[in-house]
Amino acid sequence: MNIRALDLLDLPTLSRYRNAAILLDSTRALTRGNPLGAAGFLSHFNPARHVYTAITKENGDSLLGSVIHTPSETFARLLYLAPASLLTHPSLVPLIENLSAQAGAWGAFHVIAEVDETSEAFPALRNSGFAVYAWQRLWNLSSITESASKSGWKRTRDVDIPSIQSLYHQIVPPLLQPVEPMPRQAEGFICNGGVRCHVGATSGTAGIVLSPLIHPDVEMVEDHLATLTQSLTSRGTRPVYVRVRSYQAWLEPVLEDLGALAGPRQAVMVKHLARILKNEEAMKAVQPAGASVQPSRVSHIETKKQP
């Protein structure tokens, strides 16, 4: 089996699989479109970006996979696997492992993949060392009618960051914190009634994805969610999605009542590439001058019998 990096001679294969790939980074797919498009293809050959696509061919079958990493982050993301018709192919697991190895070469500690729980890629990812850390669903807010209520959201300021980070630690489980970045910059929106609800926003030419952190004690959550789109003044005609992960599943009935459209449930899968180990170093005990250490001796142990 030969697994190698994509090159220009593979352009026909990439074009043939453009509409046959399974996308594993939902936010990027919804905001930037199909990564197998022309713009996505050119990014593979940009040396300034950590984007790697591998291809393997066996018995006339060709399989593709891609991984991406942002240098400032400790994790990488699988972008896609293709084609969807060959997800049970025996070469898929070695291909995924090759992509993970490249992420490790970039310095990433983890690799993330988001996959529909019914997808045939699920077993291959499990066999490649990925485990389910959470579930998520993306809800389309585009069909929600404009709310008559005034939006209670305002732009995040630098002074709000400590409160947002405190909210993050209250809501995001410790198991997910290494792969779900804590907000460090004044981005997104907060509610006017104190920093107990924050929404991060990722936008692109194809759409906008909102990532909420909302405390369960917040009142009038339905009104807050209904007015979210009013805060996106430069939205235009782009669709708006809300990403809800399993640790905030209580938001899903609220979104359903508002008329938001639910996407398929996805598994958030993580593969660990490295573990942070505490170094344990043996140290010699310092013995005072002239002192000697005698071994202790036990000549008799008397036990008391229980009545």
What are the pLDDT digits (tens) for 97-143?
999 999 999 999 999 999 998 999 999 999 999 999 999 999 999 88
CA distance 294 to 306: 34
For residues 46 and 88, the model is more confident at: 88
Mean pLDDT value across the chain: 84
Any idea what DSSP says for residue 92? H
CA distance 78 to 81: 8
Residues with Cβ < 8 Å from 183, sequence gap 6 or more?
A: 156, 161, 164, 165, 168, 198, 200
Beta bridge partners of 140: 241, 261
Residue 153 half-sphere exposure, CB side, CA atoms within 13 Å? 25
Any idea what DSSP says for residue 73? S
**Alpha-carbon radius of gyration of the chain:** 26
At residue 14, the pLDDT reads 83
At residue 43, the pLDDT reads 63
Closest CA to 212 of 203, 224, 230, 194: 224
Beta bridge partners of 66: 53, 80
Query: Residue 53 has which token pair?
Result: 């696509």
Q: Poorest-confidence range of 7-11, 92-96, 103-107, 128-132?
A: 7-11
CA distance 130 to 271: 4
At residue 89, the pLDDT reads 93
Instruction: Find the Cα–Cα–Cα–Cα dihedral 142, 146, 149, 151, rounded to 10°.
Output: 50
What are the pLDDT digits (tens) for 34-58?
888 766 666 666 665 789 999 999 8
Query: Residue 126 has which token pair?
Result: 């499990």
* pTM of this structure: 0.83
Query: Would the pLDDT of 29 be above 70?
Result: yes
Cβ(81)–Cβ(63) below 8 Å: yes
What are the pLDDT digits (tens) for 199-249?
999 999 999 999 999 999 888 889 889 888 888 878 888 999 999 999 999
Residues with Cβ < 8 Å from 282, sequence gap 6 or more?
A: none
Cβ(225)–Cβ(255) below 8 Å: yes
Cβ(41)–Cβ(34) below 8 Å: no
At residue 294, the pLDDT reads 43
Question: CA angle at residue 39 from 115 to 234, to 5 degrees?
Answer: 80
